[in-house]
Amino acid sequence: MLVASATTLPLLLAASGCRSSDAFDGPDPLAGRPSPGHDVVVLQAAISAEEALISLYVTATATAAAGSASAAGPELLDSLLAQHRQHLARLRGALVLPPGASPGATASPGAAASPGATASAGGGAGGQGAGRGVVARLRTAERASAAAGLRRLATVDPALAQLFASIAACDATHVAALAALA
């Protein structure tokens, strides 16, 4: 009887529609990593945007230090750059990835400027006119960053929305601070 039941059990299971995969909970271990959730994707985009803004500030700070007669411009830019580095640290702190996963944004806060940021921030051969151009580009980038932060608010969970709102408000104050240099 025991032998008969051992041979009929698979037939019985097959006839009843049971599959071996029904016995397991969770993701299929052979399917690979699941795609990241929406909040993770939005957070990675915010990190990339903050890194680009930092690169723009690094270039602008170097340009301002080389061509500025007053110390107020470079000091303000250094202060704003430090704030953006804090923003990046907070954003990275909010990003939780599974072990072994690599973050989408890997550049360090002090990384060299990207070619696009260098070209857009360089603005020519020093002097007062070039300094105003750099400040105008920074103001435009800050405005865009604040607007992007606000657009992200409705799409993420409340804790992440609070972080984005805080950074967007800070970016808006940067626009006003940069107006004093223009």
Domain ranges of the chain: 47-93+115-182
Lowest-pLDDT range of 95-99, 163-167, 176-180:
95-99
User: Which tens digit of pLDDT belongs to each residue from 43-75?
Assistant: 999 999 999 999 999 998 888 776 654 556 889
| Termini Cα distance of the chain | 93
**Token pair listed for 33:** 């990593």
pLDDT for 58: 94
pLDDT for 28: 72
Give CA–CA dist 63/67, Å, rounded. 6
Percent of the chain having pLDDT more than 70?
Answer: 65
Query: For residue 42, what is the enclosing H or E element?
Result: helix 38-67
At the top level of CATH, which class does the domain 47-93+115-182 belong to? Answer: mainly alpha
Nearest to 181 by CA among 131, 143, 137: 131
Give CA–CA dist 23/37, Å, rounded. 26
pLDDT for 109: 37
